[in-house]
């Protein structure tokens, strides 16, 4: 995976994909593999763990909210503080951890995104 301006360049065994960052909902980790999940329910498999992508993606609007998830903050609809879930505009829910919630709060404050989302 490479970042090219506002796109991800994914090189898989069979194809080369150029995906707009705005079309990526989240990145999910599963062992030594990661999966990029797109808005049209696309799923791309990557052969590296999520840690390999954390630093580059954080600079583009993604936040690590759980050891297995990085979410594109632009797609967050609400944060359920009781159920510890982040809900995206498409209805998907993603769990967050306590450190992930703190990271999300810091990220939103630093990006000057409306605090109404988290009632900070």
Q: Report the pLDDT value the prediction gives residue 117, as an integer from 0 to 100.
A: 54
Backbone dihedral angles phi then psi of residue 7, each to the nearest 5 degrees: -135, 155
Backbone dihedral angles phi then psi of residue 8, each to the nearest 5 degrees: -100, 135
Provide the whole-model pTM. Answer: 0.86
Q: Report the pLDDT value the prediction gives residue 120, as an integer from 0 to 100.
A: 41
DSSP track, the chain: -EEETTEEEEE-SS-EEEEEGGGEEEEEEETTEEEEEETTS-EEEESS-THHHHHHHHTTTEEEEETTEEEEGGGEEEEETTTTEEEETTS-EEE--HHHHHHHHHHHHHTT--GGGTT-
Q: Show the tokens assigned to 5.
A: 């301006």
Tell me the C-alpha distance between 3 and 80, whole Å: 31
Q: Report the pLDDT value the prediction gives residue 70, as an integer from 0 to 100.
A: 97
pLDDT digits (tens, 9 = 90+) for 79-93: 999 999 999 999 999
**Regarding the domain delimited by 2-117, which CATH topology (the fold level of the hierarchy) does it fall under?**
OB fold (Dihydrolipoamide Acetyltransferase, E2P) (2.40.50)
Q: Show the tokens assigned to 53.
A: 């992508």
Q: What percent of the chain has a predicted confidence (pLDDT) above 90?
A: 62
> Which region among 10-14, 41-45, 56-60, 81-85 has the lowest average model confidence (pLDDT)?
10-14
């Amino acid at each position: 995976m490479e970042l090219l301006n506002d796109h991800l360049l994914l090189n898989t065994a069979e194809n080369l994909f150029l995906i707009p960052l705005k079309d990526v909902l989240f990145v999910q980790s599963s062992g030594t593999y990661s999966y990029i999940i797109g808005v049209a329910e696309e799923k791309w498999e990557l052969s590296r763990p999520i840690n390999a992508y954390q630093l580059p993606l954080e600079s583009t609007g993604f936040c690590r909210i759980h050891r297995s998830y990085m979410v594109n903050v632009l797609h967050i609809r609400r944060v359920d503080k009781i159920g510890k879930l982040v809900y995206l505009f498409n209805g998907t829910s993603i769990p967050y951890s306590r450190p992930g919630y703190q990271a999300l709060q810091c990220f939103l404050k630093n990006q000057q995104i409306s605090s109404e989302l988290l009632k900070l």
